[in-house]
Structure 1
Amino acid sequence: MIIARIKVLEWAHTFAGYALSLIMLYLTNVWKLPTRHAAAIVNVYTGAKDILPIGMVFLLDCFKNYYRMLAISSLTYNIGLSLLAISTPPVLYKATHTCDEYKPECIGDTQQALFYTALVLIAFGLSGHTTAYQSFRKSIAEEGKSEVESCRRLLGRIAVLLISLTLAIGIGFIKPWSILYGIVAIYSIMATLLFLIGLWRYDRTRLQETEEEEQTQISARMIPVWITFIMCGVVSSVGSTYFMDQANNMNRKVGRIKVPLILFPVFQERTKSFFSSWNSLILYNKSNEKFTGRNAWIGIVLGMVLSVLCCIIAAVVENKRLAVIRSHGLLDKPDDTIPLSVFILLPQFILLGAVEGLATTSIKYFFSNEDSDSTKYLNKFSNGVFGAGVVGNVLMVYVLSKVSESGGKPSWFQDTLNRSRLNNYYWALAALSSVNLIAFLLVFCWYAST
């Protein structure tokens, strides 16, 4: 029964995750923020979700009670989702003396404050929930072994794909933002209550104390390796920001059917899941039934190579998109539909999913052979460095913007995407990723020899 409740909660988080992947479009379409500013908000939020678990794992060790952390983080997360729904214009327009239309003039100070507060609470809630939830799943792994394994069968994987597509299509046809985020909040609250009631009845609220105090010291030789992971996070950040904004006004019709944009993040996420599972199978050592990091560097290298390829393809596609914009006189018509199929962007979404699946899984197990009892801390630090790259993209865009406009030239990042030169930005990412790949190989050779 507890496994069924876990699945309900997982699908609630999946549903919410798909809806939250549209925040970039909400900021550019409703708030009318410049692409660079909207991307900065999304990247800070996304990066914070990966960085905050570093602190949460220490708090969990202090609490020694994952039920309490699950309850607190779930409450925080659901309050955040609720505030996100309330921050949309139609909800509080009478109280704030604004308007109820999805226009920038209807976004008052109250709506902005609620929106930013919501993102903070969601990030904190997700990080705490993920940390405690992993410990909870591990604690019931043995008792529910056969039940858990049944969920991993081929039929279950097919069901995951079908449900993902169904949720995505459903979200795509929910037009009002207030209704979309309202449904997400209600569904998440119901799933969380169902899960927490079941967890309370399960009566396993205490994490087991370890017999020896864990060592949290980080070897100095890991730091150079971690630094090379930052660039992977930078490349990953473009998926939920610039890729989505590119797709926003492209031709989405297949025959008479207008394809919802949410399908592209779904394809990216499913690709990530596939490569993550495939990579885990390769790194699993059947002899001792443990994961080994001996060959994890291969997955990291492959992920970095694919990140270079992803950026190159994105640059070529953007060249094509800009050419169509110029030929149809759409430079100063950012809201008009570009007569170019949105599916030309699908390869870069899929490649980005492969990069994330390979890189995150390989990074997770890379330090598993370290002489340290604090593997979970190493994993969180590695994910945190990846998240730092996502946040670091904000700084990179700022620097590239200043460099590109030197000598009186127009910046690569204009207020509208049609006037921007994202193709140059993607070429720069491809070059930096190539340099980073070489740096990782050099650092790895040094790391392996020490």
Structure 2
Amino acid sequence: MRTCDGLRRWFRLPELLVTFTFGLLFGKGLITYVLDNLVTFLTDIWKLKLKEAAAIVNLQEGLRNMLQIHVAFCIDAFLGYRWMLFLSSLLYSAGLGLLAFSVPEYFFNKEKVCVPVEKVKFYCFKKLKHTPFWEGLALLIVGGAAQVIPLYSLSFDQTKVLRVPKHCTETRVKVGCRQLKVKIGGWRKLQLRVIGWLCFVYMMLGTITSFYGFISFQDNWHQRFLISAIAIVIGLLWFVCGFTFYGPRRLQLSPLSTMLRALIAAARKWGLKYRGNLNQLHRGDGDNQNLLPTDHLEWLNNAAVKESSAADDELITSVKKGWRLCTVREVEQAKLLSNIIPLSVTFIAYGMVESLGNTFFIEQANTMSGGIPVVVLQMIQWISKISVNRGYKMVFEKRITRIKRRYSDGVKIGIGMLASIICCAVASSVEAKRLKALRQEGLSNDPEAPAPITASWLLLQFFFLGAMEGLADDGIQDFFGHYAPDSRRYGPVFTSTLTGFGTILNVGFVAILNYYTESRYRESWLGDSINQSRLDYIYRAYVILALLNCFLYAFVSTRHSYDNIIGSPEEELEEIPFLEVEETEARDQQNNRGQGNDQLHRISVR
């Protein structure tokens, strides 16, 4: 009993509970390169056509990102972070396990690859239907979407270090017979930083392990999938050990449900005029009694108008009140979400360009000489993403007029979109050079022939891809963090949803290009393999798409109202509970040493 009480006292601080997520963070880093190279599994092992493999990968990634917004709603309304992380990890490991047993050697007399039959059209694709690949992919999509939010919320978000409260100063604390000079809150701040770095280290260990695993296992995808599934199961078992130390679930309303309720309530009261019923506005309780609705999107203000005093007084206390009556504050939150919709539409094209990194770029690297593994190029992309983002914050962000609070996010997104144009242009030039080298060697008709140029030519396009992600992705998250209600939880969710939608639209965009080229040139730009395709022309189409989207973004952003800023995600967080030291005069005046009795007061944690 004493042991349990001692453990509960030890884990009373939320950052100490983060240690139970280290195993899952390691597993998350381990499967990073497995999912990023899924197109290689489909083209090299299952011998699917390039367009089929790209469509499967884009649908998997797009659905996984788009489902995060539904996961966030379920977390807020039903399950909470802890149970959602538990269920998602189970689904994730089960999906990877099924993918491990979907390799061809279990269905083709121990042959490691599918051998296409010339007279049978779509032979390998049809054989793939008889494997557990599709069931595993479905579990992978749901589990991957459901794991991201709770894992990061229970790990990295619990270790964010905020500034020390202004009223805290240095003082002297008596420890035994000695007096030490202590900066109030310093021990807690150091503890948060150390645990935050440990989270990063465990995820990087998983990534490095996956990096060397790709080199060691070569084409043994069964081992890659199976080891990743086992790592998640072990991490889940360690996470379950800390279940008893977590507090009760804290369910809360979602800003999406608030917007939906306001829209439905306003639609039901379409004939009302709120200007003639200002005394009938439902302002709620507390400090919102003097709150008045704004004139922007004034048709939504009808949602806060009481139809009749007696009827709506009953609605206020009933369960169904939210679908016929909202408070003025809830209506204004719905307006904030509506305001960011026009600018958010321009972020979809960013997701379309980003999806190239997990499909066509990977295939380019696999068909070039030089001995540079794909994972090395992906590491360069990741380093570029971090370094460019940090460089922008150090050099430009602090020098932009009215920094952070207004235009810095828009400038960062705009530069990221310019980087997407450069990335596609560079990719088109490199692919044209690769195809020219194949023609000079007479290898154009060989679908599996490696190009006689080194893969180092791809360094520049992977660098610009990482720069685009570091600027545009981070800028979009900051934008939602400043202008969306409850942005601390939903900023990254909105970003993932939009990029996921763009990834799915990428499937339709490629299909349109394929139909256009077949009908006009009697030849498809996207052939059965990368050597039989004209990816240089496809990349040029993406250059035009990114350029048009950049003009559209500039047009919309100049007309966007930047006055409805809410704040940054960091400002929404409560200040870290620090150790307070109160120094009082000693009652014993006999010694007269000027020393005080030090009293420690524990304050609540978030």
> Under a length normalisation based on structure 2, what TM-score does the superposition of the two structures give?
0.66
Distance change (3 Å), C-alpha of 1:222 and 1:147: same
- Alignment check: 8 A CA contact 1:84 1:118 kept: yes
The alpha carbon displacement at 1:118 in A equals 1.4
The alpha carbon displacement at 1:378 in A equals 5.0
Q: Does 1:123 align with 2:141?
A: yes
Q: Which amino acid is the alignment partner of residue 265 of structure 1?
A: Q
- Alignment check: 8 A CA contact 2:43 2:49 kept: yes
Unaligned runs of 5+ residues in structure 2 are 1-15, 117-123, 162-186, 260-333, 564-606
Listed as ranges, the matches of 1:301-450 within 5 Å are 301-370=414-483, 372-373=485-486, 376-448=489-561
Match of 1:149 among 173, 193, 199: 193
Distance change (3 Å), C-alpha of 1:112 and 1:439: farther
Residue in 2 that maps onto 1:51: 66
The alpha carbon displacement at 1:232 in A equals 0.5
Q: Which secondary structure does the structure 2 equivalent of 1:336 belong to?
A: coil
Q: Does 1:60 align with 2:70?
A: no
Q: Which amino acid is the alignment partner of residue 496 of structure 2?
A: N
Match of 1:231 among 343, 349, 361: 349
The alpha carbon displacement at 1:150 in A equals 2.6
The alpha carbon displacement at 1:353 in A equals 1.4
- Alignment check: 8 A CA contact 2:22 2:202 kept: no
Q: Does 1:189 align with 2:207?
A: no
The alpha carbon displacement at 1:28 in A equals 0.6
Cα distance between partner residues in 1 of 2:497 and 2:255: 26
Cα distance between partner residues in 1 of 2:212 and 2:431: 26
- Alignment check: 8 A CA contact 1:82 1:185 kept: yes
- Alignment check: 8 A CA contact 1:78 1:189 kept: yes
The alpha carbon displacement at 1:186 in A equals 1.2
Listed as ranges, the matches of 1:270-309 within 5 Å are 270-276=383-389, 292=405, 294-309=407-422
Question: Once the two structures are aligned, what percentage of the paired residues are identical?
Answer: 29
Distance change (3 Å), C-alpha of 1:291 and 1:56: farther
> Under a length normalisation based on structure 1, what TM-score does the superposition of the two structures give?
0.87
Aligned Cα root-mean-square deviation (Å)? 3.1
Cα distance between partner residues in 1 of 2:78 and 2:350: 33
Q: Bigger CA drift: 129-138 or 140-149?
A: 140-149
Unaligned runs of 5+ residues in structure 1 are 254-258
The alpha carbon displacement at 1:250 in A equals 1.1
1:288-338, Cα deviation, whole Å (9 max, x unpaired): xx9756411111001001000000100110110010010011111122222
- Alignment check: 8 A CA contact 1:169 1:260 kept: no
Q: Which amino acid is the alignment partner of residue 112 of structure 2?
A: Y
Q: Does 1:170 align with 2:288?
A: no
Q: Which amino acid is the alignment partner of residue 52 of structure 1?
A: L
Q: Bigger radius of gyration, 1 or 2?
A: 2
Residue in 1 that maps onto 2:316: none
- Alignment check: 8 A CA contact 1:334 1:418 kept: yes
Q: Which secondary structure does the structure 2 equivalent of 1:340 belong to?
A: strand
Distance change (3 Å), C-alpha of 1:183 and 1:316: same
- Alignment check: 8 A CA contact 1:364 1:382 kept: yes
Q: Bigger CA drift: 136-145 or 290-299?
A: 136-145
> Which structure would you say has the larger RCO, counting Cα contacts within 8 Å and 6 or more residues apart?
1
Residue in 1 that maps onto 2:314: none
Q: Bigger CA drift: 439-448 or 376-385?
A: 376-385
Count of residues paired in the alignment:
434
Match of 2:49 among 3, 20, 34: 34
